[in-house]
Structure 1
Amino acid sequence: MKMLKEERLNAIVSLVDQKGAIKVTEIMERLNVSDMTVRRDLTELEAAGRLKRVHGGASSLNTYRPHELSHADKQIINSVEKKEIVQKALSLIHEEETIFLGPGTTIELLAEAMEFKHLRVVTNCLPVFETLSKKKNALTIYLVGGEMRLLTKSFFGEIANKALEEMHFHKAFFSCNALKDNKIMTATIEEGQTQAIALDNSIEKYLLMDTSKVEKQDFYSFYQLEEVTAVVTNKDKFDTSKVLEKVVRVIY
C-alpha cells in the first residue's frame, strides 16, 4: 500500500532520528519511493525545521528524543539489521533452557524466528506472547501480567515485578531505546525497572540492539553495559562495535 505524504514525511524523520544520519538511497529502499520524491521531502522537512540536509542525505537534529517512536515506526527502522541480529541471537538459545524475552520490535522478530521443541519462555510483552502462542511446538510460555503500556504492549508495575522477582532464567534477551556512557536506556521508569528485575535474575543477559542506538539518549537508564553478557548487534561503516568492545563482548 502506498504511503500518504504525511505518513512518508513522518517515516523519514523517524528514520533520520533513529540512525542519526541517513542516505537518500537508503530512504528510497526503505520506503520504496523515487530519488526525486525523497529529495523533495528532505527539502520540505529541512524548511520545517525537522532535520538537516547534508550531502547525499540528511542528519538528525536530535541526540535525545523527548517522544518515543511509535511501534509502527520501530518496525520500519533498520528492519534488515534487526533480522541479522535475530539470526545471531538464535544461536545462543538451546533446548531445555528457561529464557526471558523483554519488549521491543527486535525481540518480537526473535520470537517469530524461534523454532524450538522444548523451551520455557517468560515474557512481559503481549506481542511476543501472541507470536509464540501460535507456534505448533512444545514451548512452555508464561505471560507476566500487570499494568500494560499501550505503546509497547508490555506489562510492568508491582504485579509484574513481584512475579519476576521469584523467577530465575538461564538467559534473558532484551532491547533498549538508547545507549550512551555505558548506560542502557528506555522511555519509562516503570518499564525499565521491570526489565532490570528480569535481568538481575538471569545467569546470562544479551542486549539485542542495532548500532543506530549507540550515543543516543532516552529518559531512564535501567542497566549498565558492563553488566550484560554480550551485545548482539550489526556491523556498520563507522565500526561502532569497536567502541562497544572496549566494555563488553560484542557478537556481530
Structure 2
Amino acid sequence: MLAQQRQNAILELIRQRGGVRVSHLVSRFGVSDMTIRRDLEVLAERGLVDKVHGGATLAGPGSAEEPGFAAKSIRQQDEKRAIAGRAARMVEPGMAVALSAGTTTAALATLLGDVPGLTVVTNSIPVADALYQNPRVDQTVVLTGGMRTPSDALTGPVAEAAIRTLNVDLLFLGVHGMSPRTGFTTPNLLEAAVNRRLIGAARHLVVLADHTKWETIGIATIAPLAEADLLITDAGLPTDGRQQIGEQVGELVVVEVD
C-alpha cells in the first residue's frame, strides 16, 4: 500500500471512530510505529487530525460536534488518571454517589471497586461496566435507562425520570468544556438535561475537568461555574484560567501529573 493510500485509509478510520491509537494502526496496516506516526504527522499538517498522546482524533470539533467515547479516551490519559485519583479520595464507605458520563468519570469508576457499602448512580455505560468488572456484594450500581449518545451516555425522558426521585451525597461531573461566560458545557442537548437532573439530586457537585476543557464551549450549558462546590483539574491549566475559575467555584484543586 502506498503512503497516500494508507493515510487516506487512516483518515477514514478516524472519521468512523472519532479517534484511533497508534498501536491499533500498526497492527491493522502491518507497518512500523514510526511509519504510522509519520502518517499522522502528515494528516495533522493538513489540518485533518489532531495528534494526541498515543494516537489521533478528528481535528477542530465545533460546539455541537460530539466526539465518541473511544476518541476521548485516548486524550490526556495521564491527566485524567491524576484527577480521578484525587476524586477517589473523597469517596467513603456507605456513600451514595453519582458519576456522569465521561472518560474522566470512567477512570474514577475503576478506582471505586473496593469501597464497601457504596451506591453509585450513573447514566454512563462505561462507568457501569468498570464497576461490574470488579463487583462487590455490598455495592449497588444504579444504571439509568435512556437513549445512547456517541459518548456512551444514557439520556432522554427515561434517564431523567430515573434520577428525579434519587438523592446522592456527591456528584462527580465530567464536562466537555468550561468558561466564565458559558459555564460548564456539553455538545449534546439531551445530555445537558440529564446532567442538570444529576446536579439537582446531589448535595455536593464535584467537577472533573482536565486543562484542555478550559475555554472549550459546547452548545448546551449544564451549569454556571459558581455552582461547583469543587473543581479538580491538572497543572496544565493556565494561570488566567486558575484565577478566573478560582474566583467562581467553591474550591479549586490542581493536581500534578507524573
Task: Please give the range of the TM-score, normalised by the shorter of the 2 chains.
Answer: 0.7 to 0.9
Aligned partner of 1:242 in structure 2 is 243
- Quote the Cα distance in structure 2 between the aligned partners of 1:63 and 1:130: 27
- Quote the Cα distance in structure 2 between the aligned partners of 1:73 and 1:88: 24
Q: Structure 2 matches for 1:131-170, cutoff 5 A?
A: 131-137=130-136, 138-145=138-145, 147-170=146-169
The count of aligned residue pairs is: 226
Given that 2:214 and 2:237 are in contact with CA atoms closer than 8 Å, whether structure 1 keeps it comes out as no
- Quote the Cα distance in structure 2 between the aligned partners of 1:37 and 1:126: 31
Q: Does 1:78 align with 2:79?
A: no
Q: In structure 2, do the counterparts of structure 1 residues 46 and 139 end up closer, same or farther at CA, with 3 Å as the change threshold? A: same
* TM-score (norm: length of structure 1): 0.78
Q: For structure 2, list consecutive stretches of 5 or more residues without a partner in the other structure.
A: 1-5, 27-32, 51-57
Q: Which moved more, 1:108-117 or 1:134-143?
A: 134-143
* TM-score (norm: length of structure 2): 0.76
Given that 1:205 and 1:228 are in contact with CA atoms closer than 8 Å, whether structure 2 keeps it comes out as yes
Using the TM superposition, give the Cα deviation of residue 63 of structure 1 relative to its aligned residue in structure 2, in angstroms.
7.5
SS, match of residue 110 in structure 2: helix
Aligned partner of 1:171 in structure 2 is 170
Given that 2:155 and 2:190 are in contact with CA atoms closer than 8 Å, whether structure 1 keeps it comes out as yes
Q: Does 1:221 align with 2:221?
A: yes
Aligned partner of 1:57 in structure 2 is none
Q: Structure 2 matches for 1:22-171, cutoff 5 A?
A: 33-34=33-34, 38=37, 41-47=40-46, 49-50=47-48, 62=60, 64-114=62-112, 115-137=114-136, 138-145=138-145, 147-171=146-170
Q: Which moved more, 1:71-80 or 1:36-45?
A: 36-45
Q: Which moved more, 1:61-70 or 1:242-251?
A: 61-70
Cα deviation, 1:30-88, whole Å, max 9, x if unaligned, reads x9954x865664454434x4379xxxxxxx98474442212111010001100000000
Between the aligned residues of both structures, percent identity stands at: 21
- Quote the Cα distance in structure 2 between the aligned partners of 1:237 and 1:195: 24
- Quote the Cα distance in structure 1 between the aligned partners of 2:49 and 2:95: 45
- Quote the Cα distance in structure 1 between the aligned partners of 2:66 and 2:237: 26
Given that 1:207 and 1:231 are in contact with CA atoms closer than 8 Å, whether structure 2 keeps it comes out as yes
Provide the aligned C-alpha RMSD in A.
Answer: 3.0
Using the TM superposition, give the Cα deviation of residue 98 of structure 1 relative to its aligned residue in structure 2, in angstroms.
0.7
SS, match of residue 191 in structure 2: helix
Cα deviation, 1:188-240, whole Å, max 9, x if unaligned, reads 11111011011112110111110101101111112111001111111117334
User: In structure 1, what residue type is equivalent to 2:84?
Assistant: V
Q: In structure 2, do the counterparts of structure 1 residues 117 and 220 end up closer, same or farther at CA, with 3 Å as the change threshold? A: same
Q: For structure 1, list consecutive stretches of 5 or more residues without a partner in the other structure.
A: 16-26, 53-59
User: In structure 2, what residue type is equivalent to 1:161?
Assistant: E
